[in-house]
Chain A
Amino acid sequence: MNHSAWIGRGLLVAFVVAAGGPFDIPLFNTPKAPDAKGQARLVFAPSPFGIAVTADGRASYDIQIEASALPAPSSLGAYSAYVAWAVTTDLKTWNQLGTVTNGHNVVGHAELNKFLLVITAESSATPKVHVGPTVLHGTSPSGWLQSFLSHPLFRGIPP
């Protein structure tokens, strides 16, 4: 690993340690892009009310992604772009957000209570469905909500 890669990894670790607010998403790489690094931040979409939500109350976020050390998409196969997706936690619905390159990206908009943020290599910048390999992925902070069904504090309470 070269010097800048170490710095990059250090910055990523620093980010992950600092994470914990409701707006930050550490992104993790996969074996397809083992040196890739990334982080995302949720920012409320512009709203006259300061807090952007849909009419049914789901938060409305613009998504910013910082990525580095992404290899050329073509190095992974017949791919030309990296595409970010907001994916429901049951993996049924993949909402295309936009393309991602190394550096700062504002990729689009998510209005899901919990979601996965997935970046895949694709054959175009606007694929109809995701088919390529995943290179980075993370979970919305709300995905960290846990069930306490089995926690001792609630033991004995029927679910």
Chain B
Amino acid sequence: MSRTLCIALCVLATARGAPAQVKPIPKKPGTPAMPGMGAMPGMQADSSKTKRPPSARPGATRDTMTMDMPMPVPMPKGMPMIPGLVGLLPPVAPFLPGAGMDLARLPAAKPSQVARLADGDTLDLTAVLVRRTIKGHSFAMYGFNGQVPGPLIRVPQSATITVRFHNRIDLPSTVHWHGVRLDNRFDGVPGLTQDSVMPGQSYTYTVHFPDAGIYWYHPHVREDIEQAMGLFGNMRVDSPERDYYSPVNREETLLLDDILVNGDTLIPFGKEAPNYALMGRVGNVLLVNGEPRYALRVKKGEVVRYFITNVSSSRTFNVSFGGAPIKVVASDVSRFEREERVSSVVIAPAERYVVEVRFDRAGRFTVVNAIQAINHYAGEFLPDVDTLGIVTVDANRATPDFATPFSTLRANADVSRDIERFRPFFDRAPDKTLTLTVATNALPLATVQFMNVDTAYFAPVEWVDGMPDMNWLSTSKQVRWILRDDSTGKENMDIDWTVARGSVVKLRLFNDPKSFHPMQHPIHLHGQRMLVVTRDGVPTKNLVWKDTAIIPVGSTVDLIIDASNPGSWMLHCHIAEHLGSGMMTVLHVR
């Protein structure tokens, strides 16, 4: 071992302190914590049944397990399951949508359709069970109005619409209008702005759209299940300005997602609490608009404007278009001050980016998600490329030719002017500070042991789930993700922050790299807009209004919040399982 590595490890061991004491998993002999999955009504059996040994660990006992099916967790290539985890089960009952229903009788999911609405219009939005077929396997899942993604709601800026939401699924639900600075009463947060809409019930939302751009809607109840199973859709708010964006030949909406399957089986969710609580549920089949392959045919020279939303529970994407030039134009709540050339689009859960891509030669352009995974077993990086789709470019030349506007990087002076009045606040001391961390108890001993030795390095961003066995076994009963107010020590919902309406709040977020399992967090603030003004002390040179900002491990990020919209607004991590494990608080704007 090199001197450098020795010192580094010694330093880390010192800095991290003694390993946390953990309690053993509560065990009731004869009472399985997770009943036989195959026996649960409505759950699809795994057709790849093979007998698995009770445990690869000599002398191990099968605490908390009685599953008749093999371990359902697909492990990444080259990453073995830790022997000490073989045979363990998460201490939750399994859940999949449509328990007891005949899959063949469910309606097949339809692709998203555009719902063009004018100011004052009403839309009925119904969450229903659907049958989705992914890579030849059919599953009972959810959809809005039978569509996956849900209808693309297209409205003019400043419109106000009525949405009558009907819950026809088997869980309580709500609809959250992500990124929209609407009336707080209709924000869709159970226990804060409304009660959950129980199965069979309805709720009427009034949604006002003050800002142009791309937004999305999703439930705010058990997002780890409902959103992951298909309850999401976009809202596109059109500016009255004809040249709000540059001219393009075509516009496309891409919702990026993933799903976790093992052969013909969906990996069940925790019924009473989310599992995959450590890293969030990272799927092994990547989806674009609900399908495993995106396909588009364009003409040579076409410029396509993509409205991209990451609707996955946990995965951060790095998307490129086969080498075609990309220009980033806008993000969550506004355009950028200046358009920029980029080689790929990095997009965390819940974020949106608007990019323009020019396909300047005939042929096939492969749309990929390309990342550097980490093999924690081998201690190495592993290039990982997933094909999301293909853009086929015909030899016929596109008309009109938008090569010139595409090559122009516009400066949006109105965006800069809007931001100008907030600049005096950029350099002042933070009004609020939060440390992002985690507490655990009763995790399996092998998980604790592994984490204690695998702490020499934490990637700023975990692009994939490199440890799905540990992750699968962790639930929100054992993992508590934390937003800690540095000034009071209060955590999550115990934090009681009230700010004056119209004030400008500087919030500093620090993602503690020395916690048990540090991970990036896409932090979302409801109902307001915010600017990321510095990252690790480096000022942001090209600002854009956001509602979700990724905080890498070890990073300190300063946000300027335009607290102009009155009400009680959630601030939380948008990794669904982190939210389900407590990582949330409320900002009251009075």
Contacts and interface: CB of A to CB of B under 8 A. Distances in A.
B346 A20 contact: no
B378 interface: yes
B342 A48 contact: yes
B514 A20 contact: yes
Contacts of A144: 5, 8-9, 12, 456-457
B457 A23 contact: no
B274 interface: no
B4 A142 contact: no
A58 B450 CA distance: 25
B11 A113 contact: no
A145 interface: yes
Interface residues of A, number: 46
Given A55-B343, A154-B80, A141 B384 contact: no
B18 interface: no
Interface stretch (B133-141, B199-207, B216-224, B530-538): B530-538
A2 interface: no
Contact of B370 (A21, A50, A57, A59): A57
B549 interface: yes
Contacts of A47: 342, 346
A49 B346 contact: yes
Size class of the B contact interface (CB-based, 8 Å): 35 or more
A22 B372 CA distance: 15
A3 interface: no
A39 to B, nearest CB: 12
Q: Is the interface of B mostly helix, strand, loop or mixed?
A: mixed
B82 interface: yes
A146 B459 contact: no
A26 B7 contact: yes
Contact of B380 (A18, A49, A59, A145): A145
Interface in A50-92: 50-59
A107 interface: no
A140 B457 CA distance: 10
A7 interface: no
Given A20-B12, A49-B345, A144-B9, A157 B83 contact: yes
22 contacts: A22-B554, A53-B318, A53-B371, A54-B344, A55-B344, A55-B370, A56-B370, A56-B385, A57-B372, A139-B8, A142-B457, A143-B5, A143-B457, A145-B379, A145-B381, A145-B457, A146-B379, A147-B377, A148-B376, A149-B378, A153-B450, A154-B82
Given A113-B372, A147-B379, 8 more contacts: A17-B15, A26-B8, A28-B7, A55-B320, A57-B383, A57-B384, A144-B456, A148-B377
